[in-house]
Structure 1
Amino acid sequence: MGFANHASLLTASRGASRSGRKLRGLAVVALISLGMAAPLLAQTPPSTTKAEIAAPATAVVTPNIEGKTVEGRPFKLSSLKGKVVLVLYWSTGCAVCRDKMPELRTNYEGWAGKPFELVAVATDKRMQDVVDYERIIAQTVSTKQQFVQLWMGDSSYRDNLGAHAQLPAGYLIDKTGKIVERYVGRIPPEAWDRIADLL
């Protein structure tokens, strides 16, 4: 089936009701599997339910993130070259984000000793919300499950990945420092398989 037919399938499902939204979601998944979705993902409005779309990121090939960790230590993403990095944008006010944190922490601990790092960037408006959350985590979670945490609102924070309309959002970065996948919504289980491949 040609690109035009794929595009018309997606367009035909746009004006439909709830069942139409399901059809559109299936069409996008089909296009992703065929490697033809990149031009259309930008036209597809984000789902109001859980979204587990993974697609190659082409806008920014070499990401740059720097600032201070919540503990006040200087941080540069470039210092992690040679490691596979999962960057997660989240917020303490995002229920889906909080729900996924235990799974992310467990997986992070599972990669201990491997060239892998998880970097979380909190998008909260108030630093105090992040500090309060981290205080609870420090008391209840093993240090083996605690990863780099930055706050986007800090005056030293800089990145070139832009704003994120839907949280959580993630970027998978290979050992050379290049983005290989972008995740919108929940980090899909397949991301961990991809990480294993990149290690």
Structure 2
Amino acid sequence: MQSVAAAALAASTPSAFAVGLKQSMIGMDSDGRPFDLANYAGRVSLVSFFTAGCNLCTHDLKLMREFYVDNRAKHFALIGVNIDAKKEDYVEYAKLVTLTTPADQRFPLIWRNAPNHGDTFGPVSKQPTHFVLNKDLELVFKREGTFQPSDWDQVWSKL
């Protein structure tokens, strides 16, 4: 049933990049728990699409993790969406995070290519690609490539 919902969700939005457009995502996280972006309503969310072997992605995620730890009490959420083609790369990355990151610093990791995954973010062609959503899950802005200092200012202003 969830794979039918995922397919319908993926096909439901023709233009995922319109500022103000409400975003959605369903699937499973790296711990095997169901994930639904709707559960993050009420929080400013940074959704980061990355691959395990991307050095720039790793650098951005490190900075984002620090921001997440400092600001999650202010209703900030960080969600990592892996776009590796091979599940093994995603699984290996998730295991590495589990082994090297304290539990209170972890955020959901989702594999976009899973059969039960569906989202309205549209094609992602550059690594990393980040989407900032307001508390209503509406797109505030999209950043392809490294997150810029001015991007942090925009996130901070939404908290």
Same fold per TM (> 0.5)?
A: yes
- Write out aligned runs for 1:1-12 (5 A): none
Counterpart among 98, 120, 124 of residue 164 in structure 1: 124
Matches of 2:96 and 2:120 in 1, distance apart? 30
Are the equivalent residues in 1 in contact too, given 2:19–2:140 (CA < 8 A)? no
Is 1:122 paired with 2:82? yes
Is 1:100 paired with 2:52? no
Counterpart among 20, 26, 36 of residue 76 in structure 1: 36
Unaligned runs of 5+ in 1: 1-56
Equivalent residue number for residue 114 of structure 2: 154
CA spacing shift, 1:177–1:112, aligned 2, 3 Å: closer
Are the equivalent residues in 1 in contact too, given 2:19–2:141 (CA < 8 A)? no
Normalised TM-score (structure 1): 0.68
Aligned-residue identity in percent: 26
Larger RCO: Structure 1 or Structure 2 (Cα < 8 Å, ≥ 6 residues apart)? 2
Counterpart among 98, 110, 119 of residue 138 in structure 1: 98
Larger Rg: 1
Are the equivalent residues in 1 in contact too, given 2:19–2:139 (CA < 8 A)? no
What is the root-mean-square deviation in Å for CA atoms of aligned residues?
Answer: 1.5
Instruction: Say which SS state the counterpart of residue 137 (structure 2) adopts.
Output: coil
Are the equivalent residues in 2 in contact too, given 1:173–1:180 (CA < 8 A)? yes
Equivalent residue number for residue 147 of structure 2: 187
- Matched positions, count: 143
Matches of 2:106 and 2:149 in 1, distance apart? 20
Normalised TM-score (structure 2): 0.84
